[in-house]
Amino acid sequence: MEKKCCKCVKAAHQQLEAAEAAKVDKLAQAEAAKLQYDIQYQDRLAQAAAKKAAHCKAQLAAAEQYKKIKTEAAAHRLAAQQAQEAKKAALAAE
């Protein structure tokens, strides 16, 4: 009878160990899933930041181009005005 009880205790210990191992495995799987989600979330944040940076860079390039065109237009207007004034002065001198 003692041997039978010893076997029962041994079997119970094995079942407890198996249950504990399953619990640890389940916790490890949950932790791995959480880490995977966190990685994907960080990837999405990085992609959004890169997209925003590209948009800002494009806006900056457009603003610089606009400033350049505006400066060139002002220079052309000034040159045209000076040419007009020179023409008037030449006509007045005749």
| pLDDT tens string 5-57 | 788 888 888 889 988 989 999 999 999 999 999 999 999 999 999 999 999 99
Cα–Cα distance, 36 to 23 (Å, whole number): 20
Average pLDDT on 68-90 reads: 95
> What's the pTM?
0.55
Place of tokens 């002002």: 74
pLDDT at 91: 86
45's tokens:
């944040």
